[in-house]
Amino acid sequence: MEQSIITTVLLPVALAVIMLGLGLSLTLADFRRVIIYPRAVAVGLTCQMLILPAICVGIAHAFHLAPPLAVGLMLLAASPGGATANLFSHLAKGDVALNITLTAVNSVLSLITLPFIVNFALEHFLGEGQAIPLQFSKVLQVVAIVIVPVTIGMLLRARRTVLANRLDKPVRIASIVFLVLVMVSALVKERAIVADAFREVGLAALAFNLASMFVGYTVPRLCRVEPRQAVAIGMEIGIHNGTLAIAIASSPSLLNNPAMAIPPAIYALIMFFTAAAFAGFVARRSRP
């Protein structure tokens, strides 16, 4: 019963609360800002949606991950950036406005890209016939869990600014609490294999995390994106929405494979330490 409550109630509620918090921080201007930063947004989205999945496939093969763990890592690669990227970008003196814009645009686009990347991973690592048909009902479930709370948050921000400001801090706290609960529940549910899985996927998750931040910072700089925006892209790409990946992997109505939730859970534990180190590094470099 406990695990049923976690998968059927806690995961959707956790994701909805986190998405509501994201919506409370967004306005239509965040989407219009794409016109202001076309190169930075284009480079960031290219890194997120094309380069990272390719790197993730290479890392999964290089570390000889078991198929479910490989799919879990690919699911993480397909997930949009997490809202926590805004905080670390601020600490690293990055362009937080660009972070918000990338999160907003990527969250919408992932409704299209995420199913295709996950289906590719299922076929590639688990064999033919394992892919999940892109059923309209499943798309509606993702829309209900992701887009609806974001839309509600944005409407509150636009029409009830005072209320949105009051809700911002409590929702952020609730998001952190739910994020911890989701990660812990995923690890506890698979506690029999967590130690072995951590040994098998821990280094792969770390390698993917470091590669994500390296690509997110280096590729924009090679494309002549200004340093503050490169820092923002590095954080946006290095800090993935692990809660979304865990929810999709564990939900009985979606992948229904808790083992696939292990890589996102382990990645979520690692990324805060590496992001803090990266923030300190680039912040020191930006000092006069």
pLDDT in tens, 4-41: 455 556 666 666 777 777 677 667 776 677 677 788 88
Q: Which residue from 257, 269, 244 is spatially nearest to 11, judged by alpha carbons?
A: 244
Confidence band for 204, pLDDT divided at 50, 70 and 90: very high
Confidence band for 54, pLDDT divided at 50, 70 and 90: very high
**Which pLDDT belongs to residue 219?**
94
Is 195 a residue whose pLDDT tops 60?
yes
**Which pLDDT belongs to residue 220?**
93
> Are residues 234 and 213 in contact, defined by beta-carbon separation less than 8 angstroms?
yes
Q: Which residue has the tokens 């690919």?
A: 74
Confidence band for 218, pLDDT divided at 50, 70 and 90: very high
Q: What is the pTM of this model?
A: 0.74
**Which pLDDT belongs to residue 185?**
66
pLDDT top residue among 149 and 175:
149
CATH number belonging to domain 2-280: 1.20.1530.20
The number of C-alpha atoms within 13 Å of 7 and in the hemisphere containing its C-beta is: 21
**Which pLDDT belongs to residue 160?**
82
The number of C-alpha atoms within 13 Å of 258 and in the hemisphere containing its C-beta is: 19
Mean pLDDT of the chain: 77
pLDDT in tens, 166-193: 777 777 777 667 666 666 665 666 566 6
Q: How many CB atoms lie within 10 A of CB 127?
A: 10
Confidence band for 3, pLDDT divided at 50, 70 and 90: very low
Domain boundaries of the chain, sorted by first residue: 2-280
What are the structure tokens assigned to 218, written together? 């280096």
What are the structure tokens assigned to 63, written together? 């570390």
**One-letter amino acid for residue 151 of the chain:** T
